[in-house]
Structure 1
Amino acid sequence: MQRSLSSLIRPHLARRGFSTSSEKIVASVPFERLPVVIPIIDPVVYAFQEFLSLQRALDRRLYLLLFGNSYGAPSGKPVWHFPEKNYESEETLRKCAESALKSVLGDLSHTYFVGNAPMGHMVIQPTDKVRDVPSYEQFFFKSQVIATNKFQIGKCEDFVWVTKDEVLEYFPEQAQFLHKMIIG
C-alpha cells in the first residue's frame, strides 16, 4: 500500500511542532530589494517616481506587496499582502514559500532566499470586528532581489514596491509585529 507524500509529511511536521490540525498553514514571502548605493536624489525627483518601480527609494529597502486574493481575507475581498501560498503537500515550508514567489514572478533566477527557517510567525484568529476570517498560522520567509531591476509580476490585480514605513501603513493591525520582523 502506497502512502501519499502528505501523509508522510504531516506526522513529520507534528514532531517538529507544526500544527497538523485542520488549521491552515500559510507561507508568506517578504520579498525585498536591498538599498542601492547612489548619490542623494533631489526630493522633487522622488515625488515623480512610481510605486511600481524598483528604481524608487534607492537608499532604502523595498518590499513587494500584491493586491488580490489572499487566504484569510474578510469576505474573500482582494487585499494587500506579501506573496503567499497555502501549505499543501510541499516537502518543506521553505519549498512552499518558493512556490508562492515563483507563482508571482514565474522565475526565481533573480531571487535569493535568506536561510531555510522562517524569519517570523503569526497566528491569525477571528476578531470581534472580523468574524468571518478563518484561523491560520502564517510563516514568513525572507527573499531578496539579486542582479535585476525588473520583474514581470503576475497573478494579482495590482502590486507596489514599498519602503518599511509604507509596509506598516498597509498593515496597521500587524505594524508592531512587522516592525520587529523586518530589518531596516
Structure 2
Amino acid sequence: MQRSCRSLSRFLASNRGFCTSSKGSRNDKIVASVLFERLSVVIPKIDPVVYGFQEFSFRWRQQFRRAYPEEFLQKSDARGKGEYHIDFVPAPRITEADKINDKKNLNLIYGFGTTVSIMKVIGDSYGTPKGQDVWHFPEKVYKSEETLRKCTESALESVIGDLSHTYFVGNAPMGHIAMPPGEKNKDTPSFKRFFFKSQVIATNKVDIKSKDFVWVTKDELLEYFPEHSEYLTKMIVS
C-alpha cells in the first residue's frame, strides 16, 4: 500500500503542467501581475426603475403600518431640530481632478458606481523587447517566493513602496492568460501571466515610483490593452 502511494505521487508530480516550485517539470515562466484598484467613494445614483419599485413598496407598506398616537409622532418630528442639528451635505460626484482630467490623481471618478480605478505603470515588461517601454500592470517573474501571492505583493511593493494601505482580495489569482512568444520578441518563450487583485484602503494618495502611470476606469483600460480586450472584458469589466 505504501509503495503504491509513492508511485501515485511520482506519477502526479511528473504529469503536472506546472507547480508553485521554480523547479517544475516544465520551463514555462510564471509572471505575477496585480490589478491595483480604488473602489468607488460615492454611492451611485439609483436606477429609475429601482427607485419606482422602492416608492411603490413604501406606499404599499403604508397601508398596513401601525397607527401610532399623535403625541408620539410629535416627539419624533421634534427630534434633531435642536442646537445639535447638522445639515448633511453629500460628497460631490465630480471632483477637481475630473474637471481637468488629471489621470495621476487618485481622486478621480468618485461617483462612478461600481467602476474602479486601475493603476498601470510604464517600463520593461516580461515578454517585450529590452529597453522598450510599454504599459503594463505591476508585475514580477515568479522565482523563489514562498507563494505566488507573495510574489505579487513584492511586485506591488516595488512600485508603491509601502503596502500598509493595500488589501489583497484572496490568496488565489482572479484569472490567468497564456502568453505565446511575441512577433517582435520571438526569443522569449511562452509564459503564463496570473492576475491578483489589490485595493487601496484608507488613503487618497499613493506614492508611485514609475516612469509614468495613470488611473483609468474599467472601460478606459481596454484602450491601453486592445490586443487583450476580450479577455480583460471577461475578467474585469463584466
TM-score (norm 1): 0.83
TM superposition outliers: structure 1 runs of 4+ over 6 Å: 13-16
Higher alpha-carbon deviation: 69-78 or 138-147: 69-78
Indicate yes or no: 2:220 matched with 1:166.
yes
1:9 is matched with none
The secondary structure found in structure 1 opposite 2:213 is strand
Q: Which residue of 2 aligns with 1:5?
A: none
The amino acid of 1:73's aligned partner reads T
2:119 to 61, 64, 68: 64
Which of 109, 131, 150 pairs up with 2:186? 131
Is the Cα–Cα contact under 8 Å of residues 75 and 132 in structure 1 kept in the other structure? no
Flag the structure with higher helix content.
2
Distance 2:92 2:99 in 1: 17
Indicate the residue corresponding to 1:53 in structure 2: 105
2:18 counterpart of 1:18: yes
Shift of 1:128: 4.9
Higher Cα radius of gyration: 2
Q: 2:136 aligned with 1:77, yes or no?
A: no
Residues 79-102 of structure 1, C-alpha deviations (whole Å, 9 max, x = no match): 000100010100100000011001
1:75 deviation in Å?
A: 4.7
In structure 1, stretches of 5+ residues that fail to align are 1-12
Match of 2:41 in 1: 36
Q: CA deviation at 1:180?
A: 1.1
Aligned to 2:231: 177
SS at match of 1:29: strand
Deviations along 1:6-64, whole A, 9 cap, x unmatched?
Answer: xxxxxxx988753532221100000000011043328x973413110011112231000
CA RMSD of aligned residues (A): 2.4
**Mapping of residues 140-159 of structure 1, within 5 Å:** 140-154=195-209, 156-159=210-213
Corresponding letter in the other structure for 1:160? V
CA distance in 2, matches of 1:65, 1:50: 15
Contact 1:63/1:162 (<8 A) preserved? yes
Following the alignment from structure 1 to structure 2, what is the Cα–Cα distance between the partners of residues 76 and 45? Answer: 32
How far the C-alpha of 1:166 sits from its partner, in A, is 1.2
Aligned pairs for 1:87-126 within 5 A:
87-126=142-181
The runs of 5 or more residues in structure 2 that have no matched partner are: 1-12, 43-90
